[in-house]
Homo-oligomer: A and B are copies of this chain.
Amino acid sequence: MPDDIGMPSVAPTIDMENWVCPMPLRDSPNIVMGHGGGGAMSGELIEHLFLPAFGAAAEADMGDSAVITLGGARLAFSTDSFVVKPLVFPGGSIGDLAVNGTVNDLAMSGARPMVLSTAFILEEGTALADIAHIAKALGTAALAAGVKLVTGDTKVVDSGHGDGIFINTAGIGVVDDGVDIRPQRAAPGDVVIVSGDIGVHGVAVMSCREGLEFGTTVVSDTAALNGLVAVMLATGADVHVLRDPTRGGVAATLNEIAGVAKVGVSLDERKLPVPAEVRDACGLLGLDPMYVANEGKLVAFVAPQDADRVLAAMRDHPLGARAEAIGCCVAEHPGMVVARTALGGTRVVALPAGEQLPRIC
């Protein structure tokens, strides 16, 4: 019996002859930084370039994490490359992100992350001591997350054709029977919960970015969320959607969910946990904390009757102590996120186009 990998193939083959650059970049035939921002431009690159080019080889939407059945096992599979600059920042390093980012993508499918691969692209001339420091952080983060590093690869590129250390990790997790967590399950009535303070990671990285240093005591929130997800699921609650709001922040994540599930999201901006220091730094940089990356937070859509139970369980976990219900899922304005502001008005929280803070992960 052939293995069933779950989803139908949907992508048409690209027609190179008649192919045009993905919108909104028909005037610019080249990659720009915004294509890596996790916002609208990233989405267009996937929709208009990668999926048509991959053709029938691509499964469905090739999202952050795929749930597949192989050899009778229900598995989640995910990959991320990490190009954060600088490599070490307040509260963590590219080694921590490389573990926690992929572990979190798996956990957001409701999977128990089990194993990771690690692939390094090293630039000629990079100090071995720096690589050892990063590799040690990576190993420590893997131990903390309870995942094993089982296979790896190392490539070296000539000086001036890389940037010190790039890391890719891919991971596999086991999805237990009955678990079905994906953006498509967002439904009107769901309570939208965020697990804690937002905007922290982006501010921490920018605070030490060359040419931009500013004084702050904010440190990255990079953390593996599989333990927090486990306590949420242990309540027996009907958790519909989980997502870690990384690139593009809470705004990009909520827009993505609203778009995929064709629902609206209604937020109460006053409920958003934003630390004063993040608010100050964002003021300085001209940013909205809702658009700033997090690396140790999740957004959950939970069936209304279960929301209080989930919130209580989250608050009992160290990584969810400051969890808040920030709004709800609605049938109105499908695909759109609308926030009630502190002043009592409303505003549309749009999907960011490109990237406010490049190379944040």
Contacting pair A162 B160 (CB below 8 A): no
Chain B residues near A161: list those with CB within 8 A: 162-163
A:140-199 near B, CB below 8 Å: 140, 142-143, 147-158, 160-163, 166, 168, 170, 172, 174
Chain B residues near A5: list those with CB within 8 A: 114-115, 148, 150
Chain B residues near A322: list those with CB within 8 A: none
Decide yes or no whether A133 CB sits under 8 A from chain B: yes
Decide yes or no whether A22 CB sits under 8 A from chain B: yes
**CB proximity of A138 to chain B, nearest CB, Å:** 7
Q: Which of B138, B163, B358 contacts A162 (CB 8 A)?
A: B163
Number of copies: 2
Chain B residues near A222: list those with CB within 8 A: none
Contacting pair B31 A132 (CB below 8 A): no
A:42-71 near B, CB below 8 Å: 42, 45-46, 49-50, 53-59, 62-66, 68, 70-71
Decide yes or no whether A216 CB sits under 8 A from chain B: no
Contacting pair B154 A58 (CB below 8 A): no
Chain B residues near A139: list those with CB within 8 A: 13, 53-58
Chain B residues near A80: list those with CB within 8 A: 119, 153
The interface size bin for chain A is 35 or more
Chain B residues near A78: list those with CB within 8 A: 117, 151
**CB proximity of A281 to chain B, nearest CB, Å:** 22
Decide yes or no whether A35 CB sits under 8 A from chain B: yes
The docked-state distance in angstroms from the alpha carbon of A80 to that of B122 is 13
Decide yes or no whether A343 CB sits under 8 A from chain B: no
Contacting pair A81 B119 (CB below 8 A): yes
* Binding stretch for chain B, among A123-131, A272-280, A313-321: A123-131
Tell me whether A79 and B151 are in contact in the complex, defined as CB-CB below 8 angstroms, given that A14-B132, A73-B71 are known contacts: yes
Contacting pair B122 A36 (CB below 8 A): yes
Chain B residues near A46: list those with CB within 8 A: 152, 154
Chain B residues near A153: list those with CB within 8 A: 64, 79-81
**CB proximity of A260 to chain B, nearest CB, Å:** 15
The docked-state distance in angstroms from the alpha carbon of A334 to that of B150 is 27
Chain B residues near A34: list those with CB within 8 A: 156
Binary B-proximity of A11-37 (CB < 8 A = 1, otherwise 0): 001101001011001000111111111
List 5 other contacts, CB 8 Å, given A62-B152, A73-B75: A13-B139, A30-B124, A68-B114, A77-B150, A83-B121
